[in-house]
Amino acid sequence: MSQGALAAAAGVAAQAARRRTFAVISHPDAGKSTMTEALALHARVIGQAGAVHGKGDRKGVVSDWMAMEQQRGISVTSAALQFSYRDAVVNLLDTPGHADFSEDTYRVLTAVDSAVMLLDAAKGLEPQTLKLFEVCRQRAIPVITFINKWDRPGQDALALMDEIEQRIGLRPTPLTWPVGPAGQFHGVIDRRTKQFIRMQRSPGGADLAIEEEMEAGEAQARFGGDWDTAVEELDLLAMTGADHDQAAFLAAASTPVLFGAAVANLGVRQLLDVLIELAPPPAARPTASGDQQPVEGSFSGFVFKIQANMNKAHRDQVAFVRINSGRFERGMIVTHGGSGRPFTTKYAQQMFGQDRDTIDEAFPGDVVGLVNATALGIGDTLYVGKAVQYPPLPSFPPEHFAVIRTTDTAAFKRFRRGVEQLDAEGVVQVLRSEQRGDQSPVLAAVGPMQFEVATYRLEAEFGVKVQVQHLPYEITARTDAAGREILRGEAGIEVMTRVRDDALLACFPNKWRMRSVAGRHPGLRLDP
C-alpha cells in the first residue's frame, strides 16, 4: 500500500474513532422521543426541548416529524439525527417504541454500535423492553440503561437492579445513583468521581437542568435520611461488586445504569458523557461470507431504511445508508451489490429529523440520506472496489391482513403509486390476490397500527381515501406453484403473491389449520 493510501486509511480510522452511533429504544411511553430531544438539547443543537405534548409554543420532538406522530404523541417511524458533542460526532437513531413497528426498530439495531435502553421507573421491565434486550443480546450490542422518570413515584432503585439482573441476565453496574426515592429526586452521586450533583428542573422544563456540585456534609445536612439511604445503598453496591467493567459491557454481558428524568432534562448530560466515554466506536463488520470488513477499508455501507415525503417541501424518497467502511464522498460512483450496476451518489444529505443538509463527505458510523435513490431497497449493500455483501436484514412474518381499496377511480394511479411506496419502505408488505385483482391489493403487517399509518399516509401524502377490509388470517408460510394448486381446494385458505419478491405465501386463519392441512398433504411445501 502506498504512503498516500496508508495516510488515507489512517484518516478514515481516526474519523471512525470519533463516531458514536447508537439507538434509543424502549417500551412505548417510557420517554424515548423525549430523551432524543433532551440529548440534542444538551449537545446545544436545538434551543429548547419540547415534550411530545408540549404547551404553548413548544413543538413536538424533532425526531417525531410525521404529523400523525405529533398529533398522537407516539413514534411510528425511526429517525436519524447527527450532531457534535465535545470532540465526538454523534449519530442518534430514534426508534418507534410500539410493538407493531418492531420490524423498523430491529432494522435500526443492525445500523448501530450500541443502544440506550430506557426503563420507566414505575413500570420497570415491560414486554417490549424484554424483547429489545434480547435482540441486543443476540446481536452483541452493548446496552446502557437509563432509569427514566425518577422525578415521579416509582419502584425502589435496588429492586430495579435486581429485576434487570434476574429477568434479562445482564449485570447492572450503576454509574450514577439517585439521592431520594422515585418522586423525590434531589440529584445523583457519580460513582466514578464520588461527587454529588444536585439537580433541579429549569423553569418550564424546556432548558438545561440546573446542576450544582455539593459536598457530602452539606448534602447530608440538607437531605438527611435520603442522603444516608443513598450512601448505604452505594456501600451495598460496592460489596456486591456492581462496578463498571468495560470489557463486560462491550461483550454485552453487563449494562451501565444511570438515573434521571428526560422530560425535565435531569441526568441527561451524564448519559451523553457516558456515551462519548464508554460506548464503542464503529468497528469491523461481518459480511455475508463471514469475513470482517475493516473500517479503514474501501467504502461500503447498507440501506437500513427508506422513507418518502418526510417534508412537504421535499416530495422525494430518501434511502438511509449506514456507512461501515471507508470515506464517502458525495458524487462518488458506487456499486449496487444486488445488481452489480453502478450507482451515482449525487444527492447525499445529512439528516436531522425531517431537516436535511447536503454533505460532501462522511465516515464509518455516519448515516447518509441518498435522495431519490429509487433503485435501492432495504438491505441493499453499496461498495467501491472489492465486492462486499452484508447479511440480509431481519424480516418478520405478518400476522394481520387487510384488503385496501379506493372508490375514487380518478385517484387510482395515485393509489397504486402510494401502495408501491409503502411497500418499498417496508411500512407494510403488499400481496397480490388472484381473486381480488390488482385494484384491491392485500396489506400484510406485523401489527394493526401499521394499517393506520398506511391509510393515513395514503390520504395525507397522495390524496387518496381508502377503505380497509380485514381478513381472517394470522399466519403465512411460503409455498410453490404445486402447493398453490393443492390449496385451491381448501376452504378458508388463500395463496397470494408477495409483490416485492414474487414469493407465494399461503395464508391460514391459525397455526392449527395449517398443521391440519399439512398433515393431509404430506408433499405440500410450507416453509416459515
Known binding-site residues equal 94-98
319, 303 Cβ separation under 8 angstroms: yes
3-state SS, residue 279? coil
Cα separation, 515 vs 519, in Å, equals 6
Q: How far apart are CA 260 and CA 285, in angstroms?
A: 33
Is 66:124 a contact under the CB 8 Å cutoff? no
Q: Which amino acid is at 288?
A: A
Q: What are phi and psi of 115, to 5 degrees?
A: -145, 150
| Number of C-beta neighbours around residue 213 at 10 A | 12
DSSP helix/strand/coil, 343: strand
DSSP-assigned beta bridge partners for residue 383:
300, 335
Strand segments (E) across 359-440: 361-362, 367-371, 381-383, 400-405, 429-432
C-alpha cell at 440: 384491491
**Cβ atoms of 479 and 505 closer than 8 Å:** yes
The values of phi and psi at residue 286, to 5°, are: -70, 140
Annotated binding site for GTP: 94-98
Element (H, E) at 476: strand 475-479
DSSP string of 32-80, one letter each residue: HHHHHHHHHHHTTSSS----TT--TT----TT--SHHHHHHT---S-EE
Q: What is the signed CA dihedral for 275, 279, 280, 285, rounded to 10 degrees?
A: -90
Q: How far apart are CA 290 and CA 37, in angstroms?
A: 38
Which 3 state secondary structure label does DSSP give 468? strand
